[in-house]
Amino acid sequence: MNFPNLSGRLGGVMLGLLLVTGCVTTRYEYMAPHTEQGRYCATQCASIKEACQSNEISRAQAEQYNCQQRSEYRYHDCLHHARSEDEAKRCFRPACWNNPNTWRCDENYRQCFVGCGGTVRTIKEE
């Protein structure tokens, strides 16, 4: 018996299993500083982290807006310069995707927290 698509399907299943089993989740456990001064310092770190995240969210929103504006402009420009209905059908609006990337804020917070006398434990889970 001949199964021409079997090797392709089997390869797809194996790739899917590899992707699922290869995922590692990292989480962090925080132990507060022992001194009042250290806890106050850690509170300041948290405020800085929130400001950093807020700035990153604003940056991502502005970039998303700018991308959408460029996309609209290019689409309407393409329609305006199309010489036929077929050319106009080839005009498209590229999708815009922009997410805030707060990993640096989180990393800076962990370093600041440790600098205040706290402890951060990294836990990796599969």
Through-space distance between the first and last CA atoms of the chain, rounded to whole angstroms: 39
pTM (two decimals): 0.69
Task: Return d(Cα 47, Cα 27) in angstroms, integer.
Answer: 21
Any bridge partners for residue 123, and if so which? 27
Phi-psi region of 117 (alpha: psi -120 to 50; beta: other; left: phi over 0): left
Whether the CB-CB separation of 48 and 109 falls below 8 Å is answered with yes
Give per-residue pLDDT as tens, 27-58: 999 999 999 999 999 999 999 999 999 999 99
Q: What is the CA 95 to chain-centroid distance, rounded?
A: 17
